[in-house]
Structure 1
Amino acid sequence: MSELEPGTLPPRAEELRAQVREFLASWPFTPRCDSWLTGADPAFSRALGERGWLGMTLPESYGGHGRSPLERFVVIEELLAAGAPVGAHWIADRQTGPSILAHGTEEQRRRFLPAIARGECFFAIGMSEPDSGSDLASVRTRAERTDGGWRLNGTKLWTSGAHIAHAILLLARSAPREDDRHAGLSQFIVPLPSEGVTIRPILGISGEHHFNEVVFEDVFVPDELVLGRVGDGWRQVTAELAYERSGPERLLSTFLLIRLLNERATDPAARRALGGLLARLWSLRQASLAVAGALAAGETPDVQAALVKDLGTRFENEVIEVVRAHSPLEPDPASDDPLARALAEAVVQAPGFTLRGGTNEILRGIVARGLGVR
């Protein structure tokens, strides 16, 4: 593929977009706000895999499709805009697959990547911990050397989708903490279920089950399931977060509200407010596209990704306020009205928008350091 200008899509992008829309029109689902977290349908994930829309950027030799991050951008943008149930495969496709490709052994790649691309292997992320907030370097989960592998002990919190995942990619301290808090961390692939792993649901305000507490008690992980180099976990996780923080999901969690209000709003003030939201969304989309382009070029745009997430997640919250100001409907999860129902979903999920994947305060610190002003 020839080099593209930043913020532009590859040739035939609209043809790919049309194919995704045709598929979505044929699949029965109820659109949701925040569908990449709240909407999990393993059958839908397998159907995407059959069409080559999972593992798109992975090499064909590992079951992927050798396509660019920009082509993947087109597919996930359509899925999110439609509120499709993508939650089951989301983490595996978005970041675990690229991480295993970058840091994994040949055996790990052969074992996990083809299954991810088929929509048959889902991953959870084992990063956040109790009492740690967004201070990822403060992890207390321990990995201790034993014959043939490691023993893991600790607790992970807010672990999305662990109850349906086939494995969890865990960050743990594999060496005593020293002056450099970022040293001595390693990543481990833990199959689920595993002896000693307990998964406890954390129910949201609406009673839905997305998050979990995952407890590790003397969990044995063989050496062949260490991801990358022992002690290099911080560098690997930092690279992984560029995938997590910059995608369209950081802009489009509440896009369903814009679409639904646009279908019915006739008041000039509402139309102006919608126009303002769409103008800002387009700018944020261009920034997200630029990060996807950097990933396609083999770069690690962690600072740019942090900025996209900060601005994007604040925008998602503002969408809710605009829609509430220009719609007479009250949020109601049981309503027959799609807008009232989507508004209820968005209001419930909104507190997490600027927290998950790193709080906005942490992200601004990353940007400040990247600019040399901190």
Structure 2
Amino acid sequence: MPRAGAPDPDLAALRAEVRGFLRRQIDAGAFRPGIDTWLRGWDPEFSRALAERGWVGMTIPVEYGGPGRTFVERFVVTEELLAAGAPVAAHWIADRQAAPSLLRYGTEEQKRWFLPEIARGEICWAIGMSEPETGSDLASVRTSAEQVEDGWILNGTKLWTSGAQHADAFFVLARSSPLDPGDRHGGLSQFIVLMNSPGIRIRPIISMSGEHHFNEVLLDEVFVPDELVLGTVGDGWAQVASELGFERSGPERFLSTFGLLAAAAERVDDGTLPADGRIGAAAGRAFALHHMSRAVSEALERGEDAEVAAAVVKVLGTRAEGDIVDLFDEMCDEGAVDVEFAELIRSGVMQRPGFTLRGGTTEILRGVVARGLGLR
């Protein structure tokens, strides 16, 4: 695991600036802090307000319309947004995955097309990886890409596609050449698919809470022009592995339920909740994960491969955020706590089943870690 660097006064100032902005937004009633808001908190106006301050697409270079900030500066901003339970879902995937992937693998035309819109908070992105009967085993994707004149025809189904009902574009991992049993990772390619393309249908997946975040996306003879191939044909697996480093290592992998922990600490202070060592232990885990996640951001800043470290953060982080929910669900009788705190617990319980699934199941990620450490 990379080591996090020493405290930086400039980063502290940035953190204080973001924290002050969020406090003013909450006091003004712009949003109500919640659980899992990077997935559930859809507010395009709030995303644009962040973009106006240079807090969306922060690592996008100035020449592509971005602020040209560092990965660590982005980590500080996103950590504060998540800790406050801010509604950031409208720009989250575009900021977290699309921008760095386009910077690394995109053509000059693709960068100039999409990156300025991401930095302005004007475009929503989704990710098309998982499929029915595939899940985290991305090497077994069945979506096909057949080369035709001037482009490709895509056919298949993508599942659990967060925010597809709002998205303007999404990355699709597809098999561009027949499966070779001796090289299951070969023959995969990535495509940028515009969501208004003919042949795309979106079926909502309603969660047990009654909310609509996930979708099934069906691609029926969808044409993708050659200029929207991402990276190199046949290198899709390597590109996705790199992309998942951004998805799995971020602070959303341990801060989705931080608002519940912070609210509990406030209630311990005012005597509403009893002091309990388990609350302190949960805070300690969050502090450790903060340093681990920041260390991955620093590794990405140096251009290092962070796949294994990101998998470690994801496994430990999603377990910790789920344990926070379990702790307060066990500790608190709903009738004995205030309505706001009870709602945070209820939201956490409803979201809890997905924590260890999205971004790769715990079982798959343990395999990634084991292979990375030479254990299998």
Query: TM-score range with shorter-chain normalisation?
Result: over 0.9
Q: Report the TM-score when normalising by structure 1.
A: 0.95
Number of the residue aligned with 1:209: 212
Structure 1: distance between partners of 2:316 and 2:23 = 31
Number of the residue aligned with 1:16: 14
Structure 2: distance between partners of 1:338 and 1:239 = 39
Moved over 4 A (4+): none
Q: How many residues align?
A: 368
Contact 1:31 1:82 in 2 (8 A): yes
Number of the residue aligned with 1:250: 253
Contact 1:9 1:70 in 2 (8 A): no
Number of the residue aligned with 1:371: 373
Stretch of structure 1 that moved more, 282-291 or 136-145: 282-291
Stretch of structure 1 that moved more, 289-298 or 9-18: 9-18
**Could you tell me the percent identity over the aligned residues?**
59
Structure 1: distance between partners of 2:248 and 2:352 = 16
Structure 1: distance between partners of 2:97 and 2:8 = 22
Task: Please list every run of 5 or more consecutive structure 1 residues that lacks an aligned counterpart in the other structure.
Answer: none
Task: Give the 3-state SS of the residue equivalent to 1:88 in structure 2.
Answer: helix
Alignment of 1:283-298 (within 5 A): 283-298=288-303
Contact 1:144 1:151 in 2 (8 A): yes
Say whether 1:308 aligns with 2:313.
yes
Contact 1:7 1:287 in 2 (8 A): no
Contact 2:3 2:292 in 1 (8 A): no
Number of the residue aligned with 2:200: 197
Number of the residue aligned with 1:148: 150
Contact 2:260 2:345 in 1 (8 A): yes
Structure 2: distance between partners of 1:99 and 1:268 = 45
Say whether 1:218 aligns with 2:221.
yes
Letter in 2 for 1:207: G
Q: CA deviation at 1:336?
A: 7.4
Pair 170,326 (structure 1): closer, same or farther in 2 beyond 3 Å? same
Q: Deviations over 1:88-132 (max 9, x none)?
A: 110010011000010000000000001001000111000000011
Task: Please list every run of 5 or more consecutive structure 2 residues that lacks an aligned counterpart in the other structure.
Answer: none
Number of the residue aligned with 1:354: 356
Alignment of 1:251-290 (within 5 A): 251-265=254-268, 266=271, 270-290=275-295
Pair 148,218 (structure 1): closer, same or farther in 2 beyond 3 Å? same
Structure 1: distance between partners of 2:123 and 2:7 = 29
| Structural RMSD (CA) | 1.7
Number of the residue aligned with 2:329: 324
Structure 2: distance between partners of 1:271 and 1:115 = 47
Q: CA deviation at 1:64?
A: 1.1
Say whether 1:26 aligns with 2:24.
yes
Contact 2:329 2:349 in 1 (8 A): no
Structure 1: distance between partners of 2:272 and 2:45 = 41
Alignment of 1:50-89 (within 5 A): 50-89=52-91
Pair 46,232 (structure 1): closer, same or farther in 2 beyond 3 Å? same
Q: Report the TM-score when normalising by structure 2.
A: 0.95
